[in-house]
Amino acid sequence: MVKLDTIISLAKRRGFVFQSSEIYGGLNGCWDFGPLGVEMLRNLKDLWWKSMTYRDDIEGVDASILMHPRTWEASGHIAQFSDPMIDNKTSKARFRADNLIEEFIVRLRNKKKDNLADEIEAKLSQAKEPSDYYNIIIQYEIPDPVSGTKDWTEVRNFNLMFKTFIGPVEDNGSVVYLRPESAQGIFVNFNTVLQTTRQKIPFGIAQIGKAFRNEINTKNFLFRTREFEQMEMQYFVKPGNEFEWYEYWKEQRFSWYLQLGIKQENLKFKDHDKLAHYANKAVDIEFKFPWGWGEIEGIHSRTDFDLRNHQEFSGKKMEYVDSVNNERYIPYVVETSGGVTRSFMAFLCDSYDEEDVIGENGKTEKRTVLHLNSKLAPISVAVFPLVNRDGMPELAEKIYKDLHKNFRAQFDSSGAIGRRYRRQDEIGTPFCITIDSQTLEDGSVTIRNRDSMLQDRVSESNIKNYLDERLA
């Protein structure tokens, strides 16, 4: 498995991801997507959107980031959306108490102390109150991983929502929150979408959008950040049918990652031992990151918790009327919620490879390559003149400009041809076109495949058809 530092280095060096506000020392837990990163991110979101909404039973919305504060009372976020926080008095380091315990369990398992790890894990699964986490930390003398000391404060709950104010006066009446999840924007629009589309149960509403959480600790590059993007779909079903649709969406979402090239051995389901207050069933799709398994998407059976609470808090009916069967009910919901940036990172990690190949000088050299699905690759095709003379650069630039009308293309005439291939391999470009002396004679070009490194001879007039067939 590739090391995390290797992925971070590649992401910065090649223009995928940069530290936010880096010239000022950076802002912890915030990242900027560079020229290649934003293209790959757009491809990822487009693929998700088409897979979810290019069907008869799912509609799309784009809800506002700022919502009426009563939204978060109804959803339970104001009362319950918090993490247990603990500080070490010596190092001044701050931790999520549950993460501190989980990481201690991992260290115990690495030392083959499985019985003790099982004992602590059982207690952690039952922990609910701050005092529960504190008692585990004190009882098992869990040390601060920074200083090694065990001088802890009490555990306290820390609400993760970012608070701001609307209007010119900063008082309690003008408080609003940056949304901590995008799902509530779907729930509050349930009736409006239902009325404007005339959908019938079962049907879904999908959304891609930013969310914000004031995480106690950000870590592992893009895995846990304070600003992130979600790809969410809420599927509304008749009560009693939720588990059937839950299984359906589990299979659909797992298959989506496989179809886009994630290796099967790097994906797994993980059922929730502890269910959220709104759920009657939940599972995560986990990816094997460089540090271990981590969630990239959750599938949750949310019951009617959200719609029922919004009905209570708003006074507006959130019922579905089935005129055919003469029924009236509040729908149950099956949710699929994927992290855009986490998925982005999973695809980068999964596709990264280092291969030994024979270079132009006949010696073995290392080739770094991203075996990205061609639909995800930020650049679809690169165009090179073999040498910068004899009219090759001019012809190469003409072909490049023609292709750029239909494909995300790149022109490169700098350095040896082998070096140019390596640059494109490293960013995952699936095809490279070279204009050589034969092109000048018969109008044919070579098209090199990233993964096999084999080349086809193709006439200039057939380049677009060739790429269309292989990128489709």
pLDDT digits (tens, 9 = 90+) for 358-374: 766 777 888 999 999 99
Q: Specify whether 179 is located in the same domain as 318.
A: yes
For residue 352, pLDDT over 70 is answered with yes
Asked if 258 and 386 sit in the same domain, the reply is no
Note whether residue 414 is domain-resident: yes
pLDDT at 247: 98
The pLDDT of 251-264, averaged and rounded, is 97
Last residue in a domain, options 159, 193, 216: 159
Q: What is the CATH number of the domain that holds 275?
A: 3.30.930.10
In angstroms, the CA 439 to CA 426 distance is 27
Q: What is the pLDDT of residue 125?
A: 87
- The domain that contains 132 carries what CATH number? 3.30.40.230
What local confidence, expressed as pLDDT, does residue 360 receive?
A: 66
Verify that 154 and 176 share a domain, yes or no: no
**Residue 286: predicted pLDDT:** 97
For residues 119 and 53, membership in a common domain is answered with: no
Give φ, ψ of 45 to 5 degrees: -70, -40
Q: Do 209 and 185 belong to one domain?
A: yes
So what's the pLDDT on residue 146?
A: 83
Which tens digits make up the pLDDT trace of 191-207?
Answer: 999 999 989 999 999 99
Please state, in angstroms and rounded to a whole number, the distance separating the CA atoms of residues 164 and 176: 5
Asked which of 115-119, 126-130, 266-270 is least confident by mean pLDDT, the reply is 126-130
Evaluate if residue 444 carries a pLDDT over 90.
yes
Q: Which of 159, 184, 200 is the last residue of a domain?
A: 159
The verdict on 206 and 269 lying in the same domain is yes
Within-domain flag for 13: no
Does residue 44 lie in a domain region?
yes
Query: What does the block give as tokens for 48?
Result: 């998700």
Specify whether 183 is located in the same domain as 42: yes
Q: Do the domain assignments include residue 72?
A: no
In eight-state DSSP terms, residue 144 is P
Structure tokens at 143: 């040390």
Among the ranges given (25-34, 49-58, 78-87, 333-342), the one the predictor scored with the smallest mean pLDDT? 78-87
Regarding whether 317 and 191 lie in a shared domain, the answer is yes
- As beta bridge partners, residue 31 has 19
- Same-domain pairing of 390 and 434: yes
Among candidate residues 125, 159, 193, the one where a domain is terminated: 159
Whether 234 is covered by a domain: the verdict is yes
**Same domain for 58 and 86:** no
* Mean pLDDT, the chain, whole residue set: 94
Instruction: Look at residue 216 and tell me whether its pLDDT is greater than 70.
Output: yes
Structure tokens of 321?
């009327």
Range of the domain at 144: 82-159
Query: Using one digit for the tens of pLDDT, what is the confidence trace for 4-17?
Result: 999 999 999 999 99
CATH of the domain at 427: 3.40.50.800
Pairing of strands 431-435, 444-449: antiparallel
352 in a domain, yes or no?
Answer: no
pLDDT digits (tens, 9 = 90+) for 69-93: 999 999 988 877 788 999 999 998 8
Ranking 88-92, 123-127, 131-135, 362-366 by mean pLDDT, the lowest is: 362-366
Average pLDDT over residues 320-346: 95
Kindly tell me if the per-residue pLDDT of 428 is higher than 80. Answer: yes
Where does 28-155 show beta strands of DSSP type E?
Answer: 31-33, 58-60, 82-87, 94-96
Within a domain: residue 226? yes
- The answer as to whether 374 is a domain residue is no
Q: 145 and 46 in one domain? A: no
153 and 180 belong to one structural domain: no
Total of domains in the chain? 3
User: Residue 101's pLDDT is what?
Assistant: 95
Q: Which of 111, 104, 93 is nearest to 137 (CA)?
A: 104
